[in-house]
Structure 1
Amino acid sequence: MSRPTVVLLHGVGLDRTMWEPTADLLADRFTVLAPDLLGHGRNGPAPAGTTLEHLALDAAAGIPPGSHIVGFSLGALVAQYLALHRPELVATLTSVSSVCRRTPEEREQVFERLRLAHTDFDAAVSASLRRWFAGTGVGAEWVGRTEATLRANDVESFRNCYRVFATADADLAPDLHRITVPAMAVTGEDDPGSTPDMTRRLAAALPDCGAAVVPGTRHMLPVQRPEAVAEHVTALIGDSTHA
């Protein structure tokens, strides 16, 4: 009997390496895939006009049917799109540090970050690192690796993908109720962007979705608390298989 496949989709400006701590915890039970999204890592740049559909269909080319999809931040929006439009690929859906139905104030905050990425990319990177890691106790090696990944981005490609991240939750919102696969939404208690309120909104919008808030954590759950992410993914897959 073949092992279930778990597909890990990363956040904007990052690459597959952010999943290493979580993937190591899952690899003894599952076949783990971590493709780079369009515009990231080993994939090609994301051109002007890139949409969530472009990112999702590019990712879909490497996803076997019936996979357990785990998306982080931008990757969570890609995963939700796949659950809506390519449901044959998605057996379960785990959204980690996902935005959902931003309020006007929350939308203005993310557009302010997008404007900073256009006017001062280096400052935008530094602000992201503070927002993700300040006070978390994550080691300097991981912070440094993340910084190097962010600064290595093609800047225009990054901006094109960040615009998708800033807008796609509004595009997805009217159809979230159509995602019927077993799902889980997980975020950090102290995440200032993908807040606990957003996780609860997402869980309420999906017909079969639980919500979990990990105490004492910020945005980069797969690095700060990979065991929590792995536990929720494993529990969701186990529950769905049993059902």
Structure 2
Amino acid sequence: MSKPTMVLLHGVGLDHTAWDEVSALLADDFEVVAPDLPGHGTNPPAPEGTTLSDLADGVLDEVPPGSHLVGFSLGALVAQYLAVHRPGLAATLTSVSSVCRRTPAEREAVLQRLSVAESDFSASATASLRRWYDDTDVVPQAVQRTRETLMGNDPSSFVNCYRVFATGDAEVGPVLDRITIPALAITGELDPGSTPEMSRRLAEAIPSCRVVIVPGARHMLPVERPRELVSALTTFIEEEDTHV
């Protein structure tokens, strides 16, 4: 019997390697597909004017019908967009460390981070690493790998994709109620940008969405808490399978 497919979409400035530990934990039970988003990894740089639709179209061929679709941060917005505009494509949707319907203050904060990225890419990357990893027990080697991935980005491409992250929730937020597949929103208790409140907003917006908050965790759940993330994912999918 063939294994179900799980598609993992990474966050802005990262690539498929952000999922390495998660992929290894899932490998016995799922066919894991972890593509690089447009403008990331070995893909060509993302041009100015890149949209959420462009990012979604860029990974569409990597999502077999019936897949369990999982997106992290920017990847969560892409996954939500696919779930809205390609109904029937995915079997389930999981939004990991996702923003949702930012308040004016939250939008101003992310636009300020975008402004830093536009003027000083290196400073932006350093600030991201602090926001993601400060006060965690993630080993220095893992933090360094994330740093190397971030610094390997074309700066203009990073800004063009970060702009999608900063604004994409305003595009997809009003139509989240069109998502009809089972959904999970999971984030870290201490995530300063993709807060527990945002995951609760997702659960209110998507008709069949449950929430998991990981105690003591920050933003980079695939790196910081891969086992807890995989446990939440597999429990969610197993429980939904029993309802079919």
Please give the alpha-carbon distance, in whole angstroms, between the structure 2 residues aligned to 1:177 and 1:236.
20
Please give the alpha-carbon distance, in whole angstroms, between the structure 2 residues aligned to 1:43 and 1:201.
33
Please give the alpha-carbon distance, in whole angstroms, between the structure 1 residues aligned to 2:92 and 2:236.
7
Name stretches of at least 5 consecutive residues in structure 1 with no aligned partner: none
**1:85 alignment partner in structure 2:** 85
**2:179 alignment partner in structure 1:** 179
Name stretches of at least 5 consecutive residues in structure 2 with no aligned partner: none
**1:36 alignment partner in structure 2:** 36
The 5 Å alignment of 1:151-190 reads 151-190=151-190
Secondary structure class of the residue paired with 2:193: coil
**1:105 alignment partner in structure 2:** 105
Structure 1 residues 187-230: Cα deviation after superposition (integer angstroms, max 9, x where no partner): 00000000011010011111000011100110000100001111
Deviation at 1:3, TM superposition (A): 0.6
Please give the alpha-carbon distance, in whole angstroms, between the structure 2 residues aligned to 1:62 and 1:219.
25
The 5 Å alignment of 1:66-215 reads 66-215=66-215
Letter in 1 for 2:30: F
TM-score, with length taken from structure 2: 0.98
Deviation at 1:176, TM superposition (A): 0.4
TM-score, with length taken from structure 1: 0.99
Letter in 1 for 2:123: A
Please give the alpha-carbon distance, in whole angstroms, between the structure 2 residues aligned to 1:217 and 1:174.
28
Letter in 2 for 1:92: T
Aligned length: 243
Divergent runs of 4+, >6 A: none
Among all aligned residue pairs of Structure 1 and Structure 2, give the percentage whose two residues are the same amino acid. 62
Deviates more, 1:27-36 or 1:232-241: 232-241
Please give the alpha-carbon distance, in whole angstroms, between the structure 2 residues aligned to 1:229 and 1:203.
17
Please give the alpha-carbon distance, in whole angstroms, between the structure 2 residues aligned to 1:138 and 1:87.
37
Q: Is the 8 A contact 1:70 1:94 kept in 2?
A: yes
**Cα RMSD after superposing both structures:** 0.7
The 5 Å alignment of 1:2-81 reads 2-81=2-81
Deviation at 1:237, TM superposition (A): 1.5
Deviates more, 1:40-49 or 1:142-151: 40-49
Deviation at 1:147, TM superposition (A): 0.2
Secondary structure class of the residue paired with 1:159: helix
Deviation at 1:240, TM superposition (A): 2.0
Secondary structure class of the residue paired with 2:91: strand
Structure 1 residues 45-69: Cα deviation after superposition (integer angstroms, max 9, x where no partner): 1111100000001111111111000
Q: Is the 8 A contact 1:92 1:236 kept in 2?
A: no
Please give the alpha-carbon distance, in whole angstroms, between the structure 2 residues aligned to 1:230 and 1:157.
30
Deviation at 1:87, TM superposition (A): 2.1
Please give the alpha-carbon distance, in whole angstroms, between the structure 2 residues aligned to 1:53 and 1:236.
27
Deviation at 1:242, TM superposition (A): 1.4
